[in-house]
Amino acid sequence: MAAKKENGAVSREDLINVLQLGLIVAAVLVGREVGNLYSSFGEVSNLKIMLNVEEETLSNYLRGTLAGSGGDLRLGLAITLPGLNGSMQAPVTQMPDYVRRWLITVTLSPVTVLQPEVSDVEVQLRVEGETVQRWTYTFPREKISYLKFLNRDVALRADNTEELRDLILEAAAVHGGEVEVTLTGRVRTHLLWFETWLPFTTTRYPLVTVPHLRYVSSQWRDLNGAPASSVNSGESGYVYVRLDNPTRIHSIRENVTCTFYKEGRLEPVLTVTKEVGVAAATEATYTFPFTFDEPGTYRYALSVEDGLSLDEDSSPRLSVET
């Protein structure tokens, strides 16, 4: 009877073996799931959110605001995984640190990948660093595909158009018609039970008016480069002109005309026109040569069509002596 009981009982060693086998199976299953999650986290960390907004679109929106016509600013968000880059703009988002801490301790190798999902979108419009308005748009959860972009179209309409108009006018006056517009926001991202917001941002500098060079200073100079108030008859020299480009990213090229007058005459004695170019946010100097044979007192005027102007009465005088 004792031998039979002994034969029917489960030995301690067998029980340990079964438990070990169960633990191994459980570890494999858990490891696979954690590996899946780790791989999916890698996809989320490389998620690209691209903002499709043209400078011309922003420019038309700002001009419409100045004209009082209002209207919506329509934007397109394209969300994609790394396998699809397309021909759109460079990514304007990156994974925030608090998302990276989700799985910072995971060390198992990836097995499969879960597609992340996105839903709601928040957008903020800032002009010259001032927040004009925030919008929140609710979208259903949708998986991000490897084979196509997931598009989100939003239409922005500012409630306080007077504040926006003042910001546009102030910026345009300082920066030659250029206005800094920053669109920031975030997209709600889902991965299984995890949820976070992925940020995006882009800055554009649309023009609301045609930019022109600005006059800084000018003076008569002799051929040695020294400031001059008088020269001898037949001696050459030049007018030294400093010009400024007030914009931040747009280069400007214009035809600048220097017109020379002799006191006592209404008609100019010499006209020199040059095509000048000045890079964004810089100054440049240009010279306008002259040679006067007749003694007398001379002045000059500087002009650009619809742009800078220095009239002859404001210019310094040059005395030409025999």
pLDDT digits (tens, 9 = 90+) for 67-83: 988 778 888 887 776 54
The pLDDT > 90 percentage for the chain reads 52
Of 240, 244, 228, which Cα lies nearest the Cα of 282? 244
Which of 35 and 214 is assigned the larger pLDDT?
Answer: 214
pTM of this structure:
0.74
Q: What is the DSSP letter of 145?
A: P
Domain ranges of the chain: 11-105+116-204, 214-321
Class of the CATH domain delimited by 214-321:
mainly beta
Judged by average pLDDT, the poorest of 71-75, 125-129, 307-311, 312-316 is 71-75
Same CATH fold assignment for domains 11-105+116-204 and 214-321: yes
Burial of 207 (C-beta count, 10 Å sphere; 0-12/13-18/19+): buried
The H-assigned helical ranges of the chain are 2-8, 12-45, 55-67, 97-100, 161-174
- The predicted pLDDT at position 152 comes to 83
Given 2.60.40.10, 2.40.40.20, 3.30.360.10, 2.60.120.10, which CATH number is that of 11-105+116-204? Answer: 2.60.40.10
Distance (Å, whole) CA 321 – CA 234: 9
Summarize the confidence of residues 133-148 as an average pLDDT. Answer: 84
Distances (CA, A) of 232 to 67, 284, 306, 321: 55, 29, 35, 5
Return the CA Rg of the chain: 35
3-state helix/strand/coil string of 304-321: CCCCCEECHHHCCCEEEE
- The predicted pLDDT at position 226 comes to 96
Residue 267 pLDDT > 50? yes
